[in-house]
Chain A
Amino acid sequence: MEFSQITISAALPEFILISLALVMVLIAAFAKQSETDGEGSIKMVRTLSLLGYFAAFLALFSVPDGRVVLFNELFAVNDLVIYMKGLILVGAFFASWLVSEQWGEGVDRPEFHLLVLMAVIGMLLMVSANNLISLYMALELQSLPLYVVAAMRTSSLKSSEAGLKYFLLGALSSGLLLYGASLVYGSSGSTNFDAIASSLSGGASVGMIVGMVFLLSGLAFKISAAPFHMWTPDVYEGAPTPVTALFAIVPKVAGMTLLMNVTYSAFGNITDQWMQILIALSVASMIVGATGAIMQQNIKRMLAYSSIAHMGYALAGLAAGTPEGASAVVIYMTTYVFMGAAAFGVIMTMRREGTPVEKISDLAGLSASHPLLAAAMMVVMFSMAGIPPLAGFFGKWYVFLAAVNAGLIPLAVIGVLTSVIGAFYYLRIIRLMYFEDSDAPLDDGASHQNRLVLIVSVGFILLFFFGIGALSQEASSIVSVYF
């Protein structure tokens, strides 16, 4: 293995975060003697991880242009990967930034930030994976810390249940994925994506297709696409809210990029084979996401279904199998990160007498007691419903455009119809905030840190139409690596 200049600069973000993780392990291990020290170390670890995300983000700019293959072709970095890593780091920054030092819910430990950091490293490696083995390793590096943080609220039965459920189903999906990978390896004779792609130039054997189906199922679990979504509502509800925020914002981006990598580069020659799978996943997710959310009482649970629906829309773009489809996914995931950050910026402000609340009905009368917060939430909800001129609309526009261009008009029609069903439950939140009164208003105001996230993300959603031209050009230029 050689460590050339290029290798180092291409993997610099990961190097930074890994070295930081090592430092944080030491801090977490040694600075927990007393109560006061404990608090100090949480603060230190949190600050360090935020700085780490920031530094890693800056380091992305040092990555050389074009496609760079690293470490015996285990990883490949290209413009798309760099963009998605940037998105992951921004999302991770938001998610960590939102967690105050004394949040409660069992996340007031230095280990929390450490585990999140490790998961983020896993995600960064995931998106640049160019080999089935590195893919699996990165995926597990991402998943294992997330299993732990989901169960971090040890005093809560729901949190433990969430962690356990997530772990068991996650292990099952990893098994599926591994089995699929072995079949693919058996048929193609290699675990390298490029080698798999070239072995498929003459069509696919049955073993290869079965392996691909297993592989895609495993990945569908990670992005919680229906029918592999069962864990999502329970985990979102049971996990401590900062963990839910993390789940909602970041891993889906990594999972979607990985899925894009696998389908477009490794299986790029058999588009017609995986297209049907993705269409089925997309339709199922859109329907499950739209209908499942209607009856929910818990806002985290509702957003779980909402994220399933969002994955369905993004998959509709991916299913097109065209450059437009790929760039639509890039645009969609970009808007998704900011909408998720904004939504949780509001949810993590919802407190009554100091304790976090998470019932949808707790939002009642928010517009009277917290006008700006309610306005922010309204913008997010309309955006998630895909109402123009907000960011969410443009995500949907590009996704459905790609679907229509690929001749998948029925998929686009199902998509827009489910978005109308989806609009119902987003409107329900607005109704509670604006049309109803509450006798027990929430605590005063957002903290400064939440406010910053809200200003940035809501501003992004509101003013998105100014930047859509630049973003769509950027997106179509970075996805050209596949075509």
Chain B
Amino acid sequence: MISSWPLLSVITFLPLTGVLFLMLIRGNEEAIAANSRLVALWVSGFTFVLSLYLYVGFDPEMMGYQFEERADWITGSGISYHLGIDGISMPFILLATFLTPLSILASWKSITHRVRDYMIAFLVLEVMMVGMFASLDMLMFYLFFEGVLIPMFIIIGVWGGAERVYAAFKFFLYTLLGSVLMLVCMLVMYQMAGTTDIPALAAFAFSPEIQFWLFLGFFASFAVKVPMWPVHTWLPDAHVQAPTAGSMILAGVLLKMGGYGFLRFSLPMFPDASEYFAPFIFVLSIVAVIYTSLVALAQSDMKKLIAYSSVAHMGFVTIGIFTLTEQGIAGAMFQMISHGLVSAALFFCVGVVYDRLHTREISAYGGVVDAMPRYAAFFMFMMLASVGLPGTSGFVGEMLVLVGAWEASHWVAILAATGLILGACYMLWLYRRVVFGRAEKPEILEMVALDRREVMIFVPLTILVLWFGIYPATLLDVMAYTVSDIMANVASDLSIQTVMR
């Protein structure tokens, strides 16, 4: 029965019904706030439950796209309403629908003014995120990809910290600047191929000269989103200023849009250019891994430190993707999902103590373990996952990326591995300064232990991180076929080109 529904459309647009409900709520301010939270949580929770069916009904051994939907949109123009998922988009959809209710829960108490608007923004954001991963039409992809900016701009700008206006503008304009260059490339591709259908474009052979330019245009957009060094500077500002839940979604899902874009567009559509630019991307990624790790070491603001660590971790993702090996791509995918969970949890860790002490300065803390032992345990687990401890999901992704990188170039693998060491340095040091030591300040000892709501957020994240670490096949099997499909296409394109030369 459920299989006959247009399930992807339902999942994508279901949060809009929540928006509608939210707009209809009447009453005094408190009642509106309380009901808004509940409506948003229920709607996003229900969306998550529905999206689980995507996992259950997904056949990992099937080639091509599943749950496909196609409808007429702009007749006769090659632009249609086309949704579908494969092994690389399905995990991201689940990640987005999973993190949205958690982040709504995370802002349960910390957001007190304009709760209704906040929840509307989050639900709209969910629509945009899921829609983007589910789109199989380039124009639709762009609509959702850019549409994300609207709610995120509002979330950072209205509920952010002291410098929120600057951060929101920087986030918006930086990302927009990258995206419009991609837009021009999309127009060129549409003109050449006569369609915006992603599967058709992936099958279309763009000449190597054109690929060169198209790749750069898409790169401008995705590199900003990932973000890659040196266009990462919007990220620390946006993260530090965004409210906790905003950071969770930003790091958890929005950063993955760049990596997903590389896998969905750059590799299948511009294989020659991808090969050509791979060394260039390795250089940028290694700089990102090492340089931002060093920068993270120097931070005195917890959120900023984790933000820089995100840049470093995403450096691994770009290395993995452009090794053009199966291990590398699978590792990059795994790393993205893992980072989505771990960084969301880490930002929530910061949010938890921020709610209590209202500062993000590392030096203001110390000895938190005395007051909040359970928090210290969760934080430690997530910190170790971020460092890449075996048994956590962080290890699997980094390991696979390094294996792929070793195949591509020994030097890349060696240099990237130094990033792992630096990562351990700044994370362990952060943990020591915040959690251990003697609790000298009286306000630290007065910190309230984790309440049930906060535990409810940590537990599912912890379980998943642990599960993926112990049994990574859950995730790897889902995407194995798609990854090898992408690789096979890239390899055959490249070999054809070599023969022709």
Within 8 A of A (CB), among B163-177: 164-165, 168-169, 172-173, 176-177
- Residues of chain B within 8 A (CB-CB) of A371 are 117
A298, chain B: closest CB distance, angstroms: 21
- CB-CB < 8 A to A430: which residues of B? 153-154, 157
Which of A412, A465, A468 is in CB contact (< 8 Å) with B187? A412
Among residues 414 to 444 in chain A, which have CB atoms less than 8 Å away from a CB atom of chain B? 416-417, 419-420, 423-424, 427, 430-431, 434-435
Task: Kindly identify which residue among B153, B176, B190 contacts A420, using a CB–CB cutoff of 8 Å.
Answer: B176
State in angstroms the CA–CA spacing of A424 and B154 once bound together. 14
A427–B153 CB distance below 8 A? yes
Interface of A toward B, CB cutoff 8 Å:
367, 371, 382, 387-389, 393, 397, 400-401, 404-405, 409, 412-413, 416-417, 419-420, 423-424, 427, 430-431, 434-435, 465, 468-469, 472-473
| B463 beta carbon closer than 8 Å to chain A | no
A387-B150 in contact given A416-B180, A416-B183, A431-B157 (Cβ < 8 Å): yes
A382 & B157 in contact (Cβ 8 Å cutoff)? no
- Is B165 in contact with A435, judged by CB distance below 8 angstroms? yes
Partner of A388, one of B73, B77, B146: B146
| B379-390 interface bits toward A, Cβ cutoff 8 Å, 1 = contact, 0 = none | 000000000000
24 contacts between A and B (CB under 8 A): A371-B117, A387-B176, A388-B142, A393-B143, A397-B139, A401-B187, A401-B191, A404-B187, A405-B191, A416-B180, A416-B181, A417-B177, A419-B180, A420-B176, A420-B177, A423-B173, A427-B172, A431-B157, A431-B165, A435-B168, A469-B72, A469-B74, A469-B77, A472-B77
In the bound assembly, the distance between CA atoms of A15 and B173 in angstroms comes to: 50
Taking CB atoms and an 8 Å cut-off, the chain B residues in 137-163 that contact chain A are: 139, 142-144, 146-147, 149-150, 153-154, 157-158
Across the interface, do B169 and A427 meet the contact criterion of CB distance under 8 Å?
Answer: yes
**Chain A residue at smallest Cβ distance from B120:** A375
Is A423 touching B176 in the complex (CB atoms < 8 A)?
Answer: yes
Set of chain A residues within 8 Å of B34, measured between Cβ atoms? none
* Interface residue from A382, A397, A409 paired with B150 (Cβ < 8 Å): A382
- Name the 4 nearest CB pairs between A and B, nearest first: A416-B180, A388-B143, A469-B74, A404-B187
B184 in the interface (beta carbon within 8 A)? yes
Contact with B183, one of A389, A400, A423, A427 (Cβ below 8 angstroms): A400
B28 at the interface (CB under 8 A from A): no
Q: A401 touching B190 by the CB < 8 A rule?
A: yes
Chain B residues engaging chain A, CB cutoff 8 angstroms: 72-77, 117, 139, 142-144, 146-147, 149-150, 153-154, 157-158, 164-165, 168-169, 172-173, 176-177, 180-181, 183-184, 187-188, 190-191
Are A400 and B168 within 8 A (Cβ)?
no
Contact A387 B146 (CB under 8 A): yes
Q: What's the Cα separation between A253 and B388 when bound, in Å?
A: 61
The distance from the CB of B300 to the nearest CB of chain A, in whole angstroms, is: 26
Is there an interface contact between B191 and A417, defined as CB atoms closer than 8 Å? Answer: no
CB distance from B214 to the nearest CB of A (A): 12
Contacting pair B139 A431 (CB below 8 A): no
Given contacts A388-B142, A400-B184, A412-B187, 13 further A-B contacts (CB under 8 A): A388-B146, A388-B147, A404-B184, A412-B184, A416-B180, A417-B177, A420-B176, A423-B176, A424-B173, A431-B165, A435-B158, A435-B168, A473-B75
Alpha-carbon distance between A393 and B187 when the two chains are bound, in angstroms: 13
Residues of A within 8 A of B165 (CB): 431, 435
> A472 vs B77: C-alpha distance in the bound complex, in angstroms?
9
* Complex: A87 Cα to B182 Cα, angstroms: 32
Out of B77, B143, B169, B188, name the residue touching A389 (CB < 8 Å).
Answer: B143
Determine chain A's interface SS by DSSP, over half rule: helix
Which of B77, B187, B188 has its CB near the most chain A CB atoms (within 10 A)?
Answer: B187
Min CB gap A400→B, angstroms: 6
Report yes or no: B157 in contact with A420, Cβ–Cβ below 8 A. no
User: Are B191 and A404 touching (Cβ within 8 A)?
Assistant: yes
Q: A387 vs B75: C-alpha distance in the bound complex, in angstroms?
A: 23
A468 adjacent to B74 (CB under 8 Å) = yes
Q: Which residues of A contact B146 (CB under 8 A)?
A: 387-388, 393
Q: How far is the CA of A404 from the CA of B74 in the complex (A)?
A: 19
Instruction: Tell me if B169 and A431 are in contact (CB < 8 A).
Output: yes
Q: Which of B143, B168, B190 has the most CB of A within 10 A?
A: B143
**Closest residue to A405 on the B side, CB-wise?**
B191
Report the nearest B residue to A396, measured CB to CB.
B183
Chain A contacts of B153 at CB under 8 A?
427, 430
CB distance from A476 to the nearest CB of B (A): 9
Min CB distance A153 to B, Å, is: 35
Report A-chain residues with C-beta under 8 Å of the C-beta of B180: 416-417, 419-420
- Expressed in whole angstroms, the minimum distance between the Cβ of A406 and any Cβ of chain B is 10
B188 to chain A: which residues have CB within 8 Å?
404, 409
Nearest-neighbour CB distance to chain A for B29, whole angstroms, equals 12
In the complex the two chains form, is B190's CB within 8 Å of A423's CB? no
**A400's closest neighbor in chain B, by CB?**
B187
Whether B73 lies near A469 (C-beta < 8 A) is: yes
Q: Nearest chain B CB to A183's CB is how many angstroms away? A: 37
Task: Choose one: A382, A389, A413, A469; the contact of B184 (CB below 8 Å).
Answer: A413
Kindly list chain A residues whose C-beta atoms are within 8 Å of the C-beta of B150.
382, 387
Tell which of B144, B164, B187 touches A435, judged by Cβ atoms closer than 8 Å. B164
| Docked complex Cα distance between A294 and B333 (Å) | 42
Contacts of A472 in B (CB 8 A): 74, 77
CA distance A400 to B74 in the complex (A): 17
Kindly state the separation between the CA atoms of A232 and B181 in the bound complex, as whole angstroms: 30
Is the Cβ of A473 less than 8 Å from the Cβ of B76?
Answer: yes
Measured between alpha carbons, how far is A55 from B70 in the docked complex, in Å?
A: 41
Bound together, the chains give a CA A336 to CA B176 distance in angstroms of 21
Nearest-neighbor residue (CB-CB) of B142 within chain A: A388
Q: Check A416/B75 contact, CB under 8 A, given A387-B146, A388-B142, A401-B191.
A: no
Given known pairs A382-B150, A416-B184, A469-B72, the reply for A435 and B157 (CB within 8 Å) is yes
